[in-house]
Amino acid sequence: MRRRKALSAFLGCILLVTLLSACTPKEQLPLETTKPPSPTASETEEPDVPSGEIEFYTFEPTVYAQGDIVIKYPQIVGDGGGRDVAQLNKLIEEAALRDVSFMQDEPDSYMYEIRYEVSYNSPQLISVLFIGYSYASGAAHPNNFLHTLTLDTERAEPIRLSGLVVTDAAFAEAVKNGWYTLLHEDITEEHREAVYAMIEDMGEEMWLERLRYTDDPTAQECSYLTESALGISISVPHVLGGHIEILLDYGELDPYRAEGSLLPQGA
């Protein structure tokens, strides 16, 4: 009898421990997350494998290096479908190296790097982004910048924003209300509001004037094409990132299309 009671008690203890273990919350394994890929080259990307090269022309990376000045830019390889490849490559190279002459006398005083993205690549049009970082000895802070080049491949010449759209007051308002990004990455609402307020503070005339001079060699604004949108990069203070890109879908730009424009059609 005593043995039965002892055995029953022992089995009861095992059952209780089993139930308590079942009720104890299990440690949750962290969920696997995958960061969405950036549309531009990232710090972890292979240095000589640019992103964005699609569709028509084939490019190979070329590097200019002098001390801490390192500039990567694309060059078309092959016959280019009968286009003037030599002239197109010359224009791309000139755009990539446009700042070198200012630094050649004192290259050790500068840290200057450029990587590139071919953001649009079709038989008629090529658009290249030159994404840069610079620091001059003694400066208060480094500078992040972007300049661009869009080429009419048939004529083998650059196209400015004014050759694609009519840069009037209505277009200026459309740009101001476009999609604000930092190299196509979303920014916070506070960041967007700060840039919007900066544009508002310029006044309508100054904002329109800056857009009309977009892509001029002396201008702070530049334009480019993507698969689905026209991009306009504007210079902003260092605290706001150095530059901001505003995108407008091609389908929204029909009212502003310039005569004879090669601007891609919207979906």
At the topology level, CATH places domain 40-159 in Heat Shock Protein 90 (3.30.565)
- 98 backbone dihedrals φ, ψ, rounded to 5°: -60, -25
pLDDT tens track for 205-260: 999 999 999 999 889 899 999 999 999 999 999 889 899 999 999 999 999 999 99
Task: Give 266's pLDDT tier (boundaries 50, 70, 90).
Answer: confident
* Share of residues in the chain with pLDDT > 70 (%): 79
pLDDT tens track for 3-22: 444 434 443 444 333 433 43
Average per-residue pLDDT for the chain = 83
Look at 50 and 133; give whichever has higher pLDDT.
133
Q: Are 160 and 214 in contact (CB under 8 A)?
A: yes
Q: How far apart are CA 107 and CA 10, in angstroms?
A: 84
What are the extents of the domains in the chain?
40-159, 160-267
- Is 102's pLDDT higher than 70? yes
pLDDT tens track for 45-75: 443 333 444 469 999 999 999 999 999 999 9
Task: Give 26's pLDDT tier (boundaries 50, 70, 90).
Answer: very low
Q: How far apart are CA 127 and CA 118, in angstroms?
A: 6
Q: How far apart are CA 224 and CA 143, in angstroms?
A: 21
Q: What tokens appear for 156 in the block?
A: 């083998």
